[in-house]
């Protein structure tokens, strides 16, 4: 949990990982963040 914490682990906020070739799917997920439960979308090479 992030409240009252002195250190943060940002990697725990990443909800989706996509390869660069999947960028269109990544945009769709991010565009529907509430439905997809997307917090942070990462696009990797």
Q: What is the pLDDT of residues 4-35, one digit of tens each?
A: 666 778 888 899 999 999 999 999 999 999 99
- pLDDT at residue 9 in the model: 82
- pLDDT at residue 8 in the model: 75
Residue 7, beta-bridge partner list: none
Looking at the whole model, is its pTM more than 0.85? no
- pLDDT at residue 5 in the model: 60
Please indicate whether residue 42 or residue 5 has the higher confidence score (pLDDT). Answer: 42
In sequence order, which residues have a C-beta less than 8 Å from that of residue 2 and are 6 or more positions away?
8
Q: How far apart are CA 37 and CA 7, in angstroms?
A: 24
């Amino acid at each position: 949990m992030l409240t009252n914490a002195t250190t943060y682990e940002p990697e725990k906020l990443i909800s989706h990982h996509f390869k660069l070739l999947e960028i269109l799917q990544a945009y769709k997920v991010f565009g529907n963040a509430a439905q997809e439960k997307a917090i942070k979308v990462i696009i990797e090479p």
